[in-house]
Structures are given as structure tokens and as C-alpha cells.
Structure 1
């Protein structure tokens, strides 16, 4: 890779790292250490194939796809479901919102299976279409719709019958 390509990659990685990290935190159920590892592996994979990726229409979307696929691969490989506990990072005052709501939602997401979490993050956090989500997860559009409905039902079950108490 030449200096110009390397500089272009570094600019891309710097611009997308924060967004990738936020998505990774949601995918990992708030485990910031795993989220950091997931982003690092995603950016590493992007670096190795950067020449080919530059020809893709939407490198940012491709990075999100790599992130989700890497997460799902790691989930399949995990021999243990143990999660180390840690503290959530301090957020700027303007982005804090309601900490109990944030923790409740992260706990509920963490209770969902990996593929359910992935479909909810892609559809509602990343605001992707059903077709884009299906492409990222390498499943049919009908599978995305079905999994999305079931994942939302599970999430509602974890959050309780009334979501009104969580709404601002």
C-alpha cells in the first residue's frame, strides 16, 4: 500500500471509528472491552483489503457489514458465555440522558441471542433497510423480518409489559 492509500485509509478509520464503536457496544450488550476488540479487528480487516474496498460504492456501509459479520463469527466461536463486568465510560453531559434507561436497554439487549441483537442494531440503530440488513447478515429478507419481529417481542418481554415508564 502506497503512502497516499495509507493516508486515505487512516482518514477513513479516524472518521468511522467512533460510529463503529457505538454499534459494537450495542452488539456486545455494553461490553466495552469486547466492543473495542471488535472495532480493532474490523479496522484491521479493512486495512488488509483496502485496495479492493476503495472500489466499493459505500466503504462506511461495508465497514458496518464487516463489523456485524465479525461479531457473529466471534459469537459462534465463543466457548463460554461469561462476560467480564466493567464500568460504563463517562459520557459528556449532553449525551448522558437517563442512565437507568440506558442500563435497562443494554441489559435487555444483552439478554438477546447474538443474531437477534445484530438484526435490531442494524435495523433500528443503523437505520438500515430490510434488504441491507439481509445482505449484511447473509440471510433472506424474510428471515430478517421474522427475526426482527421475534427479537422485538423478546426485548419487550425483558423490558416488561409497559414501555411507557421508559419513554421520556
Structure 2
């Protein structure tokens, strides 16, 4: 788990969009993996089990809780390149936060962990065709909202 820890934390960051929540999610994942260690060790794929556990914990928490309001990005001057980069990251975070949990999870697993559709489907409990639908819709939403943000910021 030491080797996969940073990758799991990155996945948690992309899923939750919050460092503290990602750390909590990773910790809960480690607890669950630890409790099932004898079974996980026999299976021979502890990283896959941990990834699946993390995604399930994230999706289950989204099902139980009310959607969190998406924070609004305040308009800042574009003089400094550093401020623009931070603002761009905030806009992307805001857009990702507005995606449904399944779409965000599919995007994270594809573009962060580089998993194929079948593996993502197994993690999300859906077919590869549904995974492609989640990816397509999520990317379309990202493109549309990013273009809208870009157009809104033009002078």
C-alpha cells in the first residue's frame, strides 16, 4: 500500500475535489482493505481492491448525502500569470464539482489511472458502454462549461 498510496490519494483528490475529504477517503479505504487483508492477499490484486473500495465509498457517500453547493469563482484581475493559473484551476474544480458522481469517477479513472472501459465498468458496477456514455457526457459538459467560462472572461 505504500507504493499505491500517492496514486490513491490523487484519485481521492479528483473524486472529492477536497484535500481533507480525499485524505479521509483514503484512510477509510486503508481501513477497509486492512480488515479484508486475508481475502485481498489471496486475490492477488490489493491495488485494484483498494481502488474499487475507494470508488465505492465515494459513490455511496454521494448517494447518502445531499449534493454540496458548488462554490462560486470570484472574478479576479488577469494581470498575473500565476493568478490566472490559480483561477483556471478553481474554474476547473468548480466545473468538475458540478458533474454527477459517476461521470466524475469515470473521468478520474480514465484520465488519472488510465484504465480501460471494462475495468472502469467493473469498478463502477456498469457496462463498458455505460462507461463510454459517462465519459462522453462528462467531457461534453466540461467542454461546454469551459468554453462558456472562456467566452464570459473575454473583454
TM bracket (short chain): 0.7 to 0.9
Matched residue, 1:31: 18
Query: Once the 2 structures are TM-superposed, how far is the Cα of residue 107 of structure 1 from its aligned partner?
Result: 2.1
Unaligned runs of at least 5 residues, structure 2 = 72-84, 151-155
Give the whole-Å Cα distance in 2 for the aligned partners of 1:108 and 1:162: 10
Query: Once the 2 structures are TM-superposed, how far is the Cα of residue 161 of structure 1 from its aligned partner?
Result: 6.1
Matched residue, 1:157: 144
Return closer, same or farther for 1:80/1:114 CA change in 2, 3 Å cut-off.
closer
Q: What is the aligned-residue RMSD (CA, Å)?
A: 2.3
Instruction: Confirm whether residue 71 of structure 1 aligns to residue 58 of structure 2.
Output: yes
Query: Once the 2 structures are TM-superposed, how far is the Cα of residue 125 of structure 1 from its aligned partner?
Result: 1.0
Match of residue 107, structure 1, among 90, 94, 97: 94
TM-score (normalised: structure 1): 0.74
Aligned length: 138
Unaligned runs of at least 5 residues, structure 1 = 1-11, 85-97, 164-168
Tell me if structure 1 keeps the 8 A contact 2:29–2:54.
yes
Give the whole-Å Cα distance in 2 for the aligned partners of 1:81 and 1:162: 21
TM-score (normalised: structure 2): 0.80
Matched residue, 2:42: 55
Kindly report which structure 2 residues correspond to 1:1-168, keeping only aligned pairs within 5 A, or say none: 12=1, 14-28=2-16, 30-82=17-69, 98-160=85-147
Query: Once the 2 structures are TM-superposed, how far is the Cα of residue 118 of structure 1 from its aligned partner?
Result: 0.4
Tell me whether 139-148 or 129-138 shows the greater mean CA deviation.
139-148
